[in-house]
Amino acid sequence: MNQWLIASNNAFKTQDLIDCLRIAGLQAVPYTTVVPKLIFPAETTTGYCENALLKARFLAAFTDQGVIADDSGLEVAALADQLGVTTKRDLQANRQLSPNQAILAALAGETDRQALMMSTLVAIVPNQAPFIATGQVGGTITEASRGDQSSGFDRIFQPTGLTQTLAELPDYQRLPMTHRGRAAADLVAQLKGADVL
């Protein structure tokens, strides 16, 4: 497989994953470069792997190229009953605030700001079992948004051991340490080990 398709209609996620996979040694493009825009099935609340499998299998039915899907989320210790696999849906429920504003508001006055960014990638190639890779990065939620090198949660997430948020780091430093960057490295290693790449 020389070129893989990303199974997502989220432009930010697609580009972030393409960049992470490129660093890991794999070329990928938005699926819409070869397939008309699709409406993916609704995600479950079961787990990251199930959601990524659902998206990957759905797109694989429309192409014979290799496909890669991601499901990811933010897990915050103080908000244990929220976010995680339903991160996007939980934050979309509050349309008065941006996702980052909603998280910062929910943590106002909270001393435990520990968090994990999680990613599961599923790759499907014809006539093989799915490849499943995971990645995570631990850190804390900052008290204010910082950085313009990236967007989304990267602006409020400070990895353990660093004084900068992910969005304050240049791509060459940020991407390999992110949840998707680590999952991408895991996935590419598996694909190489199976002689798919």
Q: Does residue 86 have a pLDDT over 90?
A: no
- CATH number, residue 87: 3.90.950.10
Mean pLDDT of 176-184: 97
Return the HEC string of the chain: CCCEEECCCCHHHHHHHHHHHHHHCCCEEEHHHCCCCCCCCCCCCCCHHHHHHHHHHHHHCCCCCCEEEEEEEEEEHHHCCCCHHHHHHHHHCCCCCCHHHHHHHHCCCCCCCEEEEEEEEEEECCCCCCEEEEEEEEEEECCCCCCCCCCHHHHCEEECCCCCCHHHCCHHHHHHHCHHHHHHHHHHHHHHHCCCC
Q: What is the pLDDT of residue 97?
A: 83
Assess whether 71 carries a catalytic annotation.
Answer: yes
Identify residue 59 by its one-letter amino acid code: L
Q: Does residue 48 have a pLDDT over 90?
A: yes
Q: Does residue 94 have a pLDDT over 70?
A: no
Identify the band that residue 123 occupies on the pLDDT scale cut at 50, 70 and 90. Answer: very high
Mean pLDDT of 56-85: 91
Q: Does residue 93 have a pLDDT over 80?
A: no
Q: Does residue 166 have a pLDDT over 70?
A: yes
Mean pLDDT of 55-84: 91
Q: Which domain holds residue 105?
A: 4-193
Q: Which one of 70, 71, 90, 154 is the catalytic residue?
A: 71
What is the tally of structural domains in the chain? Answer: 1
Mean pLDDT for all residues in the chain: 93
